[in-house]
A and B are shown apart, each in its own frame.
Chain A
Amino acid sequence: MKQDRISTRQLGALLWAGLMAPAAELLPAVTLPLAGRAAWLSALAALPVVLLIGWTLTKLDLSRDGLAGAVCRGMGPWAGKGVLLLYMIWGELLLALRLRLCAQRLLTAGERDGSLWFFLPAAAALVLWMARGKLSAFARAGQFFLAVLLIVAAAVLLLSLPQTEGEHLLPIWWGDLPNAARSALPVLGVLGYGVFAAFLTGDLETARPGRNWWVLWSTGGCALLALSQAVVIGNLGPALAGQLDSPFFALAKSVGVEGAFQRVESIVAAVWTFADLTLMGLLTFAIWRAAAGVNPRLRQKPAVTAVVLIAAVLGIAAFPDGISAEEAGRGIALWGNLMAGVVLPVLVLLISWGREKMQG
């Protein structure tokens, strides 16, 4: 198991490919009600907190066993296992939500008919197949998925750049800045999936390009999120974008080259399945690592099968219709991610420092 190493570039690619799924759905839809015109600054406002969390995670010494090992070491065996169980439960709920939202998006933006009973099990089967294999294979596939997603997103954003109007974005005045800072919270909720990537840091190769590789990935990713939100808001205007369900896909509807192709939003929605698959695979592997932290004798194939099956059942049963799933995605999921991804690592670090001081 330990020979199956991935590189930092692959981990970063997996994380950001996965993050593109909630990012395209939620941003800027959840930041616009809070900040209006200045919503595109939300990602930049969230960057300092992201860097802080990254620093916290580096202080936890993740290189040996990932976050699972670090939690158990820092908080003691029983409290550590409790925290790991919390992460596992939260991860399962997120996986179920993600399965449901992926199927929902395919029903609304992609295929117009067909039912949940087909899309959700199909996506779950695909995730199960990928999670039963090696992590290095999944990471290589994740690099490809990120490349495809970036190309498609760049094409959509570049083609809609000529129709962007600066007056939708500027001027931003001092009065808007506190709102922009408040709108960083949903963005942190979206980026909170990153804590699950920290579970996989135990599989990183030993020779690393530099201790601060994650700084570049975080900064670049946040800058791209800000840019994409700016293009979306600049095109549709803050008021109209705030009314739409997922402004990025609505933008994809109107983008096109005259005479060559137009109305490609169904292709974009289908390509976004890659992002969903990556995020679901990442969550599955992370839950398995957390479970292995609780019970080291767990084997990959049965554990992963159980995880995905439970999530599939939850995905169908817990959300009776699409609206409740979307509301859960915007509300509970973001707050939970804030807790799990931002607050909990800081707590773990503080507790581990406290225990060290008490022991030493």
Chain B
Amino acid sequence: MKKRLAPAALAVAAALLAGCGTTALPYAREMGDMALLRTMGVDAGEKEGDLRVTVSTGKRAAGLQGEGQPPLILSAEGGSLSSACLAMQGLSDSYVFYGYVDQLLLGEELALEGVQTVLDYFAQDVELGLGTQLWLIRGDTAQGAVQAGEKTGVDSRLSTLQTDSEMGAAGVTRTVGETSASLLEWGSAYLPALRAVEQEREGETALLEAGYGVLRDGRLVGYLDGEGARGLELLTGRTAADILEIELPSGRTVVRLTGAAVQWSPEFQGNDLKRLHLTCRVTAALAEGRRQLEEQEQEQLRRALEAREEERLRRVLDQLRSWGADCAGVGSQVGRADPARWEKLRDRWTRLFSTVPVEISVEVSLGAR
């Protein structure tokens, strides 16, 4: 019985593999034939409800010691993200592979209409992941931004921005997963925004930081610039390197912010929220200037810093409250401070956030370099 079983099993296996080989077994793709995409941009399409997807590879090499080829930039429009991505396959002679996409650019128009579908697609698709960095293009379409890097590819600039942010030299960066989670939890989120600017010297377009965009219920409600952007960074505790120059009697002194921590304490009267207290502890270090400052000068320095940070916090809170967007997770911090009462006001939080008075106090501690 065993002797007849083995050849029979082999015959079945051979028939299966040969006959159904193309459909039953997984399909092997050659890497040499693939276009490895690094950046994806999504815009609102021309027709209602359509989406336009623009993708770009990074710099490609044509052989081991070959010189770089210009990046491949493709663009396709479809009724949904999946159809647009599929349409992309027909546009190029190599197989378009989405597994390495780690930058996603959203056009301003699309952000105004709603980004939830795009974020959901990234969560569900097999090749795309939640770790992709998310950027908002201000005043332009994502297609324009992607095509701006036609010679060198835009992904290197974006990954530099990401690394700088991790080192504390540039603004905060967000991933698709973080943004999606905060939209689902708090109904609102913030994203870094970029602007495409013409460089006069080289004639190229560069992407520069342009504050943060604030989303509410998946739609863009406004931008935070300048002082408001710095305030948002303080609020989330991730300060970028921030400089204050001040004229002291002993000379020009430059101070750098090295860290910030905020704490919210709610003040309840019965079960009603009367007031919110925001305490912000900032640490700063002397960057330039005389090393040993006198007591009076230190006090002056501290007060200048406190005033500036308080102004920033006030500005950002005013703007966020005017939009009704709690994108910094204030509600969950209130919940941590007083869980029992938080349960009761969770449903009314958005309204409360916009109306409850906030008192801000900043404490600065100066350290050496």
**A interface residues, Cβ below 8 angstroms from B:** 108-109, 111-115, 117-118, 167-168, 170-173, 175, 236-240, 243-245, 250, 253-254, 256, 262-263
- Which residue on A lies nearest to B332, using beta carbons? A167
**Chain B hits for A254, CB < 8 A:** 129-131, 175, 177
**Shortest CB–CB separation between residue A166 and chain B, in angstroms?**
9
Query: CA A237 – CA B187 in complex, angstroms?
Result: 13
Inter-subunit contact B185/A173 (CB<8 Å): no
B26 touching A173 by the CB < 8 A rule?
A: no
Are B184 and A243 in touch, CB under 8 angstroms? yes
Which residue from chain A places its CB closest to the CB of B340 in the assembled complex?
Answer: A173
Count of chain B residues near A, Cβ 8 A: 32
Q: Are A240 and B180 in contact (CB under 8 A)?
A: yes
Q: Is the CB of A170 within 8 A of B184?
A: no
Q: Nearest Cβ in chain B — how far from A162, in angstroms?
A: 12
Task: Tell whether B304 is near chain A: CB-to-CB under 8 Å.
Answer: no
Check A244 against B123 for contact (C-beta < 8 Å). Answer: yes
A254 to B26, CA, bound (A): 24
A249 to B124, alpha carbons, bound, how many Å? 11
CB within 8 A of A113: which of B27, B181, B332?
Answer: B27
B64 at the A/B interface (Cβ < 8 Å)?
no
- In the bound complex, residues from chain B placing their C-beta under 8 Å from that of A114 are 24-27
Q: Which B residues between 116 and 158 are near A, CB-CB below 8 angstroms?
A: 120, 123-124, 126-127, 129-131
Q: Hey, which chain B residues are within 8 Å of A109, CB to CB?
A: 126
Q: Given A118-B25, A244-B123, A254-B129, do A167 and B180 touch, yes or no (CB 8 Å)?
A: no
| Minimum Cβ distance to chain A for residue B101 (Å) | 11
Q: Could you tell me the distance in whole angstroms from the C-beta of A305 to the nearest C-beta in chain B? A: 11
Contacts A167-B329, A173-B339, A263-B129 given; indicate if A237 touches B26 (C-beta within 8 A): no
Distance of A243 Cα from B180 Cα, bound (Å): 11
How far is B89's CA from A273's CA once the two chains are assembled, in angstroms? 32
- Besides A115-B24, A240-B180, A263-B99, 18 other A-B contacts (C-beta < 8 A): A109-B126, A114-B27, A115-B20, A117-B24, A167-B333, A167-B336, A170-B336, A172-B339, A175-B343, A236-B181, A237-B185, A240-B123, A240-B177, A240-B185, A243-B120, A253-B129, A254-B175, A262-B131
Contact of B185 among A111, A238, A244, A253 (CB under 8 A): A238
B contact residues around A170 at 8 Å (CB): 336
Query: Can you list 18 A-B pairs, Cβ within 8 angstroms, ordered by A?
Result: A111-B26, A113-B27, A114-B27, A115-B24, A117-B16, A117-B24, A118-B24, A118-B25, A167-B332, A175-B343, A237-B181, A239-B185, A240-B123, A243-B120, A243-B184, A253-B131, A254-B177, A256-B131
**Could you tell me if A112 and B26 are in contact, using CB atoms closer than 8 angstroms?**
yes
Task: Report how far A243 CA is from B23 CA in the complex, Å.
Answer: 31
Q: Mark B185-199, 1 if CB is under 8 A from A, else 0.
A: 100000000000000
Query: Out of A108, A171, A175, A253, which one reaches B130, CB within 8 Å?
Result: A253
CB-defined contacts of A236 to chain B, threshold 8 Å: 130, 177, 181
* Residues B181 and A240 in contact, CB atoms below 8 Å apart: yes
CB nearest neighbor in B for A118: B24
Q: List residues 1-52 of chain B with CB under 8 A from any CB of chain A.
A: 16, 20, 23-27
A214 to B22, CA, bound (A): 48
User: What are the residues of chain B within 8 A of A118 when measuring CB–CB?
Assistant: 16, 20, 24-26
Please, how many angstroms separate the alpha-carbon atoms of A168 and B335 in the complex? 12
Minimal beta-carbon separation of A108 from chain B (angstroms): 7
Q: Please name the residue on chain A nearest to B102 by beta carbon.
A: A262
Tell me the complex Cα distance, A111–B29, Å: 12
Please give me the residue from chain B that is nearest to A254 by CB atom: B131
In the complex with contacts A167-B336, A240-B181, A112-B25 CB distance below 8 A = no
